């Protein structure tokens, strides 16, 4: 049994495929599954450019956007959680939403939660490239000391 | 349970460490474990340079060296096999020695044996580098379509 698995998801087709492949190829019990989503702070900053008129201060605006995005992400994560429960059948399921730089938050959460494995799709939402890995996956691999189970989700042509 | 796991080893400290880390962090049952070693053909070619006098033809010499190296490797693999049996406790254990380019033989064997997972240490014998992965690991990741469980065996400074 995998004691505690961290599965960062960006709600992409790749991350759904990764779960299916993992389950179909093997039949491994998971003690606790942590499904995680990171609200990318760089995208929020992007969104704020030119939209700072309605607010008294940038700081208030940032907090407001952060709050709204996090709430929406929690809702999405709950739906994904039902799917993960169905496919991977963990004994326990935990949902985490964080705000920041995705790879940093993933590595940080893996340590905080003392997971025994990080489950990563090779490519996520923004990675329509011919690279071996998507950029977040690559940065996680470079930074973490945890074992990583890497699932190829991108068919090379 | 992991149905069938391919574990390529170069008999390095890193590959031993990978087994220990995998077992300590998780407690996953393995159906069949294939322990594999590749006799690197480029090293054999290197060895042959300048040593081709005792033989009638290069071809005979190559076959002779290949045979001797493979026999030695099988012996080493048997010892390693006992260790793997003890640490990973697979229900079934198979030993394979191949001759060729390591990453190609690993990917080829993974397909031939229809494994459900490749277990890879991040760094092997020749990889005293600050790269994320050793060169063979990197090439396997790039080429295979199988899920790969990557174990960090190199402590970054």
Phi/psi for A52 (5° steps) reads -100, 20
Give burial (CB, 10 Å; 0-12/13-18/19+) of A31. middle
- Whether B137 has a pLDDT exceeding 70, the answer reads yes
Query: Parallel, antiparallel, or unpaired for β B148-151 and A2-8?
Result: unpaired
Instruction: Choose among B101, B140, B83: nearest CA to B117.
Output: B140
Residue-level pLDDT at A77 = 92
Greater pLDDT, A142 or B53:
A142
> Which residue of chain B is at minimal alpha-carbon distance from A157?
B143
- Write down the pTM of the prediction: 0.82
Which of B4, B88, B114, B150 to probe the A interface (max A CBs under 10 A)? B150
Residue-level pLDDT at B109 = 97
Question: A130 — contact with chain B (CB < 8 Å)?
Answer: no
Greater pLDDT, B94 or B12:
B94
Residues linked to residue A149 through DSSP beta bridges, in sequence order: A119, B149
CB-CB neighbors (< 8 A) of B142 in chain A? 132
- Euclidean distance between CA atoms A107 and A29, whole angstroms: 23
Q: What's the average model confidence in pLDDT over A49-70?
A: 71
Among A38-47, A72-81, A92-101, whose mean pLDDT is lowest? A38-47
B2, B27, B132 member nearest A141 (Cβ): B132
CB-CB neighbors (< 8 A) of B131 in chain A? none
Spell out the SS3 assignment of B91-157. CEEEEEEEEECHHHHHHHHHHHCCCCEEEEECCCCCCCCCCCCCHHHHHHHHHCCCCEEEECCCCCC
Interface subset of A 17-76, CB within 8 angstroms of B: 21-22, 25-28
Computed over every residue of chain A, the mean pLDDT equals: 82
Residue-level pLDDT at B156 = 44
- Whether A53 has a pLDDT exceeding 80, the answer reads no
B2, B145, B150 member nearest A28 (Cβ): B2
> Which residue of chain A is at minimal alpha-carbon distance from B119?
A149
Q: Residue B90: which residues within 8 A CB-CB, separation 6 or more? A: B5, B30, B31, B32, B33, B84
- Whether A54 has a pLDDT exceeding 60, the answer reads no
A2, A21, A145 member nearest B26 (Cβ): A2
Flag if B117 and A152 touch (Cβ within 8 Å): no
Residue-level pLDDT at B54 = 56
Q: Distance from CA of residue A41 to its chain's centroid? A: 14
Percentage of chain A beyond pLDDT 90 is 35
Instruction: Choose among B135, B137, B133, B104: nearest CA to B119.
Output: B137
Question: B15 — contact with chain A (CB < 8 Å)?
Answer: no
User: Which tens digit of pLDDT belongs to each residue from B31-41?
Assistant: 999 999 998 88
Q: What's the average model confidence in pLDDT over A139-145?
A: 88
- Euclidean distance between CA atoms A19 and A93, whole angstroms: 14
Residue-level pLDDT at B8 = 92
- Euclidean distance between CA atoms B90 and B19, whole angstroms: 12
Q: What's the average model confidence in pLDDT over B67-75?
A: 89
- Whether A15 has a pLDDT exceeding 90, the answer reads no
Per the CB < 8 A criterion, the answer to whether B36 and B98 are in contact is yes
Computed over every residue of chain B, the mean pLDDT equals: 82
Residue pairs between chains A and B whose CB atoms are closer than 8 Å: 73
Greater pLDDT, B56 or B123:
B123
Question: A139 — contact with chain B (CB < 8 Å)?
Answer: no
Sole residue written with tokens 């011919």: A130
Upper half-sphere CA count for residue A52 (Cβ side, 13 Å): 13
Q: What's the average model confidence in pLDDT over B55-59?
A: 65
ipTM score: 0.77
Residue-level pLDDT at B34 = 96
- Whether A157 has a pLDDT exceeding 50, the answer reads no
Tokens (6 digits) for B122: 């991040």
Flag if B148 and A150 touch (Cβ within 8 Å): yes
pLDDT band at B25 (very low <50, low <70, confident <90, very high): confident
Residue-level pLDDT at B117 = 92
Interface subset of A 79-118, CB within 8 angstroms of B: 116-117
Flag if A147 and B149 touch (Cβ within 8 Å): yes
Min distance A95 CA to chain B CA atoms (Å): 21
Q: What's the average model confidence in pLDDT over A19-39?
A: 85
Q: What's the average model confidence in pLDDT over A90-118?
A: 95
CB atoms within 10 A of CB B141: 22
Flag if A3 and B22 touch (Cβ within 8 Å): no
- Whether B96 has a pLDDT exceeding 90, the answer reads yes
């Amino acid at each position: 049994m995998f004691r505690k698995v961290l599965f960062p998801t960006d709600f992409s087709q790749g991350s759904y495929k990764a779960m299916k492949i993992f389950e179909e190829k093997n039949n491994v019990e998971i003690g606790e599954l942590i499904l995680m989503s990171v609200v990318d702070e760089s995208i929020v900053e992007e969104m704020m450019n030119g939209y700072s008129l309605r607010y008294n201060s940038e700081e208030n605006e940032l907090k407001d956007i952060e709050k709204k995005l996090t709430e929406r992400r929690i809702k999405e994560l709950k739906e994904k959680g039902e799917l993960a429960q169905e496919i991977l059948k963990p004994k326990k399921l935990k949902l985490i939403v964080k705000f920041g730089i995705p790879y940093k938050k993933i590595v940080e959460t893996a340590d905080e939660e003392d997971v025994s494995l990080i489950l990563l799709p090779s490519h996520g939402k923004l990675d329509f490239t011919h690279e071996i890995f998507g950029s977040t996956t690559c940065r996680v691999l470079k930074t973490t000391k945890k074992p990583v189970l890497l699932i190829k989700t991108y068919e090379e042509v």
